[in-house]
Amino acid sequence: MSSSPNYPFPSRTSMYWETCHVTYDQAVEMFNGQTATLKAMGHNPILSSNKLIRTEYPSRYEAQRKYSDETIKKSKVFEENLIKSKDSGSKGAQTLIDKINNEMTPSTEDVKNEQKPQVKKVGDGAETYTDERIPIMKKILSENNIVIRKDWDAKSAKSPLSPDWDFDSIVLHHAGNSFGCSNNIADIQNEHLEKYDDIGYHYAINCDGQIFEGRPLIFKGTHVARANTKKIGIVMIGDFSTRGEAELKINNISTWIDQLDFDEVGEVPVTIHKSLISLITSILNYFPDIKYLGGHREYAEVLGQERTCPGQFGIDEVNKLRSNFSLSAPE
């Protein structure tokens, strides 16, 4: 006794998949493979004046041959009607034809409406953005065991943030005299929320080398005055400047504040250096077009501004990183 055919039905005989009894308006459903089994078992997901039937055949091959012949006949009729509809100016018919030519699976909704790109709203104050950015953002987080926003109790952004992508630069900052190794990313966010919509940096690293997610990578940062586009901002939580390392500019309050070096840490700890190597390696893997890496003050100089961030010890770290990754200074 031969074994029963491998069919998804409670029967030892093969059954004819009568799936093509549809009107023109329903014809697009024949391309939807997800409903094929339901139709074959007599559960038609679309309304039709033609009943679906089960037919027993002596062999699965006879069933397949019959199914193939019937499908070809009805497909030809469908194709003729579809072309007539397209020639009459139907945008829906043209959309369907384009999908078939591109070996895509259309749906009834595609015929009724123009196809719209899928977008999501994710994160605090999120603007819409394309789905392919989300996996990259998450992979960088997971590859470096980064503490995500919800795990450090980040506050929501005050208003929607501007999207950004296709980065070409990495900017290294230090938290400065206001924040030492005893501080955390929440302290920085609280200060930034007084003047920005959210924390300005994309990533923060404490003196133990732990990396934290700052502003989600899909959004433009706020860490280089008037020049944040396509720049990933990373802040080291600590003060890596030397006392009096730059001339005090009384008429530039931002520079003046930078000189109040009350919490010197000294050289960048090895723990931070190792985390920077790991993080930047991941970033460059997903953004191979990044060409520049610099300290905040180097980008400021290009723009005609004066800053001391990330401090002289921070600049020493920048030089090590540039050499390690063969990246260029800002220009």
Give, for all 331 residues of the chain, the pLDDT tens digit: 334 333 333 332 233 333 333 333 343 344 344 344 444 444 444 433 344 444 555 555 565 566 566 666 666 666 676 677 667 776 666 666 665 555 444 444 444 444 444 433 334 434 444 568 989 999 999 999 999 999 999 999 999 999 999 999 999 999 987 777 878 999 999 999 999 999 999 999 999 999 999 999 999 999 999 899 999 999 999 999 886 664 443 344 444 444 444 445 579 999 999 999 999 999 999 999 999 999 999 999 999 988 899 999 999 999 999 999 999 999 9
Q: For 55-87, b where at least 16 C-beta lie within 10 A, e where not — what string?
A: eebeeeeebeebbeebeeebeeebeeebeebbe
Asked if residues 318 and 298 have their Cβ atoms less than 8 Å apart, the reply is: yes
d(CA 287, CA 146) in angstroms, rounded, equals 18
Do both 108 and 141 map to the same domain? no
Q: Which residues does residue 132 pair with via DSSP β-bridges, in sequence order? A: none
The pLDDT assigned to 266 comes to: 79
The pLDDT assigned to 20 comes to: 37
Q: In angstroms, how far is the first alpha carbon of the chain from the final one?
A: 80
d(CA 285, CA 241) in angstroms, rounded, equals 30
pTM of the predicted structure, to 2 decimals: 0.59
In sequence order, which residues have a C-beta less than 8 Å from that of residue 22 and are 6 or more positions away? 29, 30, 46, 48, 50
Does a structural domain hold residue 224?
yes
The pLDDT assigned to 242 comes to: 82
Does a structural domain hold residue 56?
yes
Do both 166 and 259 map to the same domain? yes
Closest CA to 309 of 185, 331, 323, 317: 317
Task: Name the phi and psi angles at 173, rounded to 5.
Answer: -125, 165
Do both 151 and 190 map to the same domain? yes
Do both 26 and 160 map to the same domain? no
Do both 142 and 104 map to the same domain? no
Does a structural domain hold residue 9?
no
**245: which 2 tokens?**
């390392």
Closest CA to 142 of 278, 300, 303: 278
Q: Look up the domain containing 168 and give its range.
A: 129-325
**23: which 2 tokens?**
């009107």
Cα 267 to Cα 112, 158, 315: the distances in Å are 64, 35, 10
Asked if residues 260 and 177 have their Cβ atoms less than 8 Å apart, the reply is: yes
**CATH number of the domain within which 134 lies:** 3.40.80.10
Domain count along the chain: 2
Does a structural domain hold residue 287?
yes
**178: which 2 tokens?**
């206001």
**179: which 2 tokens?**
């924040």
Decide which of 112, 139, 155 is a domain's last residue.
112
Do both 38 and 143 map to the same domain? no
In sequence order, which residues have a C-beta less than 8 Å from that of residue 218 and are 6 or more positions away? 122, 123, 126, 129, 133, 134, 137, 163, 164, 165
